[in-house]
Amino acid sequence: MTALVRQRLAGFLRTGRALAPVLAGLLALGVLYGGGRAEPAEAYGVSAVVLFPVLAWQTKILLDVEPDVQRRLAGVLVGAGRERAAGLLAAVVAALGTMAVALVFPWLVGGVTGPVHPGDRTVLAGLLLGGWAHLLAVPPAVALGALASRACVGGAGYGVAVLSLGAVGGLVLGLSGSVVPWLAPPLLPTARALAGPVAVGPGLGLTAWALVWAALVVAGYAWRRRFRA
């Protein structure tokens, strides 16, 4: 399975398809950080929300690079479950790479600042909390991108619809304070939490929320893939 993960990452990078989501993410972050400086935790909390649709799109692109026949052959050779797991793992690795770029980028453009007032978080604490916020975005984004992939939904139009409903719908639910907030991943609640002190209990709750949401979407992806080659 490791060889299959490397193969999919190599195809994603060598074909140049990795450039589009990375450039889109940097453009969005450039606009975001162009509005002024903020403390690392608060800035990263918002950037995780911005990167969520980019990471989901990146996952879809990565999974769509492989030709259908090659994907079917991989399923025959290593088993359907391993083939799906290899695709998801490759998408996670790619998402972590994009996340690393997103964590460094604001320092290069002067978008973050250190403590200003007494009692402000240290830079290290802000970096750790910001990294946590970005890590929370990775599983839901990968799950949504996989659900929108060609192997799962077929035509490109259906994939775009799934991405739009998942990303835009999640943002709308988060902004509206919906009575069913669990329908979307906890990106906006996490960004709001990082604006103040983050207690251990609520932090664990947000982490569990993100993981459970992602697990349910991945279960839907696996169920759908059973009926598609």
In the structure encoding, which two tokens stand for residue 58, read together? 């990146």
Alpha-carbon dihedral angle through residues 76, 80, 82, 87, given to the nearest 10 degrees? 100
Tell me the angle at which helices 2-14 and 40-65 cross, rounded to the nearest 10 degrees. Answer: 100
What local confidence, expressed as pLDDT, does residue 135 receive? 93
Average pLDDT for residues 95-117, to the nearest whole number?
82
In the structure encoding, which two tokens stand for residue 53, read together? 């649709």
Domain count for the chain, please give it. Answer: 1
What local confidence, expressed as pLDDT, does residue 38 receive? 75
Mean pLDDT of the chain: 82
Kindly report the pTM of this predicted structure. 0.88
Is residue 192 a contact partner of residue 165, using CB atoms and an 8 Å limit? no
Average pLDDT for residues 176-195, to the nearest whole number?
75
Could you give the percent of the chain with pLDDT greater than 70?
Answer: 83
What local confidence, expressed as pLDDT, does residue 218 receive? 93
Give the residue, 131 or 164, on which the prediction is more confident: 131
Burial class (CB in 10 A: 0-12, 13-18, 19+), 97: middle
Residue 176 has pLDDT above 60, yes or no: no
Q: What is the pLDDT of residues 47-103, one digit of tens each?
A: 888 899 999 999 999 998 887 777 777 767 777 778 888 889 999 999 999 999 888
Confidence of residue 175 (pLDDT cuts 50, 70, 90): low
Residue 123 has pLDDT above 70, yes or no: yes
DSSP H helical segments within 17-122, as ranges?
19-33, 40-65, 68-78, 80-108
Query: In which domain, by residue range, is 195 found?
Result: 2-225
